[in-house]
Chain A
Amino acid sequence: MSVIYNSMYYIASGGLILIGLYIVLVKTNLIKIVIGLNFIDTGINILLICIGYIRGKTAPIFSDPRIKSTSVVDPVPQALVLTAIVIGVAVLALALSIVIKVYEHNKTLNVTKIKGLKW
């Protein structure tokens, strides 16, 4: 069980990414597809965080003289995740606004019924 205990966060992030991909590929409702994209984003953010995470270490804020640089987790992935969250919010907002436009023109959110551009 220690393998699962040690790689718990990796399994969780991989699981979230796969759930997101499943939703995007299988669901026909556009809103659900957008939610799936958000699942993928969240999974990637957790993956980034757990790459820099060391069990038992504290946050890299040197507010207390007892905190040494060896006893903190890697701060770079956390900075990356902050950026990735902001980008994710922008993409999500844009996606939902385009979904509104698609609904106004087609009166449906079912992607199998939206066939204006046939490939």
Chain B
Amino acid sequence: MVNPSLLIGIPLAFSFVVPLFGLISKKIEKYIPIVALLINTAISFILIPQVLKKSIVVSIGGWSPPFCINLVVGPLGIFLATLISGVSLLISIYAVAYIKKEPTEKYHMLFLLLVTGAIGIVLTGDIFNLFVFFEILCVSSYALVAYNKDKEGAEAAMKYLIQGSIGSGFILIGIALLYGIFGTLNMADIANKITLANPTFLFISMAFLLTGFGVEAAVFPLNAWLPDAHSSAPSSISAILSGIAIKTGVYGIARMIYTIFNAEGILTFVAFLGLITLLIGEMSAFKQNDIKRLLAYSSIGQIGLVIFALGIATSLGVFAGLFQIVSHALAKALLFLAAGYMIYKVGSKSITSLNGLGKKMPLTSFAFTIGAFSLIGLPPFAGFISKFLIVYAAIQVKKPIFLAFIAIALIATVIEASYFFKIVQNLFFKESKNLKNITETSGYIVIPIIILTISIIVIGIHPQLITGLLKEAASELLGRGGYIAWVLGGS
């Protein structure tokens, strides 16, 4: 059996090998992330059937779970770890050709650290360990946002750092309060004892934790950093921040609400917050002229949709939310990668400068179109299934308030469709100006774009490829008794 702690260990070990290889040869080091993440993806695919049979709990140091730091590899954890490894593998292939600005070894090292943090967050079973991995993720993403060392990058990284570190501070306050109440840091142990505590203290601690994770997940009042950070970073970093990093914030929120606090009372409020986030994100995206800012605001909207689906809290609703995580990760990574290369070729981020690019760069433009259509939710792409399921789950709840919510969510989808159709029309049907010397992409850039396009179409046509895993993951979130029993031994 493969040890799941390798999923965290391999990117961590390889990230510190990168600068050593950078000393020897500049040509080798950029391939190291690909090797590390290829191994990681393979391990996570090997682990999926084992985890579906029985969840794996890895105890470190030979102590039994409440007394040690442990990894809990359940269906939800392995699903997110596979998604993170796969998407970041594709982005690292893209980065081989895209990242040219020195010092590249620092870029690759920080990129692997970011992936380590993200995988650690979804696999750990210890709440302080969760905080440590969260900080690894955050610190490496602050540094990567400022990687270009330009004016915008420094300013965006500063904003992200101030808001992000206040958010992490709030998470640590929440953890301190939880430790003060229960005297334990094991998430399953806390969840087991949660009914014994005073509800007021629990509410205060939960408010701190949700605010902290809300900053990383860019829930509505806390999302001011996201458009700047995502649009000023290098495009490969925008892709991983949008595709992976904000999902870890959503994971944190879901884990806190469902598993640890079992807070059914605030779920409608969470759905409402998600809806507001969706509406604000899509309306702000509508009036952007900068394509990367537009995509960043669209990410806020899509995250709002995920949180709305998690707030529905039926098994179908949570399932649809997890499906939306997959379809958004694939589509938004594809959009940022394609848009990043278009910007590189054209030399401008403005939407009007992309006019007529469809004739010069047909493959990239076609991939961009597929990603945009999947985000809007057109069949037969992956986004259609997740959006359809979210609407269906919200109607099935049979509460009038959810009918009103879903009406607003559909209005937001119409707004989203209008701005994406505008870009696609610009790409293919407008006359091109000053685009003489632009040729189609080639080499390492094309591979991830093609793979992401194909996987969006394949998941859209054959959703049963992932539904088995997603159903188990949704039932892990909703059935907290099962999670406690895995970790503390089925006593």
Q: Report which A residues bind B (CB closer than 8 A).
A: 17, 21, 24, 30, 33, 37, 40-41, 44, 47-48, 51-52, 74, 76-77, 80, 83-84, 87, 90-91, 94-95, 98-99, 101-102, 104-106, 114, 116-117, 119
Contact = CB atoms under 8 A, between A and B. Distances in A.
A95 B139 CA distance: 10
Contact of B227 (A74, A77, A119): A119
B34 interface: no
A76 B185 contact: yes
A30 B165 contact: no
A30 B162 CA distance: 10
Interface in B173-190: 173, 176, 179-180, 183, 185
Given A98-B154, A102-B155, A84 B161 contact: no
Nearest to A79: B128
Contact of A91 (B156, B165, B183, B224): B165
A6 B179 CA distance: 19
Interface in B150-177: 150-152, 154-159, 161-162, 165-166, 169, 172-173, 176
Contacts of A104: 154
B221 to A, nearest CB: 13
A101 B154 CA distance: 6
Given A83-B132, A105-B154, A117-B156, A37 B162 contact: yes
A44 B173 contact: yes
A48 B176 contact: yes
Contact of A94 (B142, B166, B169, B183): B142
A12 to B, nearest CB: 14
A99 B228 contact: no
B142 A119 contact: no
A119 B224 contact: yes
A98 B232 contact: no
B179 A116 contact: no
A30 B158 contact: yes
Contacts of A87: 132, 135, 139
Contacts of B139: 87, 90-91, 94
A51 B151 contact: no
B459 to A, nearest CB: 35
Contacts of A48: 172, 176, 179
B173 A47 contact: yes
A13 B281 CA distance: 36
List of 10 A-B pairs having minimum Cβ-Cβ separation, nearest first: A101-B154, A105-B151, A51-B180, A117-B228, A102-B154, A40-B169, A87-B135, A48-B176, A44-B172, A116-B155
A87 B136 CA distance: 9
Nearest to B146: A98
A94 B136 CA distance: 13
Interface string B377-419: 0000000000000000000000000000000000000000000
A105 to B, nearest CB: 4
B143 interface: yes
A116 B169 contact: no
A114 B151 CA distance: 10
B422 interface: no
Contacts of B462: none
B430 interface: no
Interface of B: 128, 132, 135, 139, 142-143, 146, 149-152, 154-159, 161-162, 165-166, 169, 172-173, 176, 179-180, 183, 185, 224, 227-228, 232
Given A94-B139, A117-B155, A41 B228 contact: no
Nearest to B154: A101
Contact of B169 (A30, A41, A51, A74): A41
A16 B180 CA distance: 19
B207 to A, nearest CB: 14
Contacts of A106: 151, 155
Contacts of A41: 165, 169
A90 B478 CA distance: 37
Contacts of B161: 91, 94-95, 98
Nearest to B155: A116
B82 to A, nearest CB: 28
B152 A116 contact: yes
Contact of B143 (A24, A94, A102, A119): A94
Nearest to B143: A94
A101 B146 contact: yes
A98 B238 CA distance: 19
A40 B154 contact: no
B179 A51 contact: yes
Nearest to A30: B158
Contacts of A114: 155
Contacts of A119: 224, 227-228
Nearest to A74: B183
11 contacts: A17-B169, A37-B166, A37-B169, A48-B172, A48-B179, A76-B179, A83-B132, A87-B135, A98-B161, A101-B149, A105-B151
A80 B151 contact: no
B299 to A, nearest CB: 16
B155 A40 contact: no
B131 to A, nearest CB: 8
A116 B135 contact: no
Contacts of B179: 48, 51-52, 76-77, 80
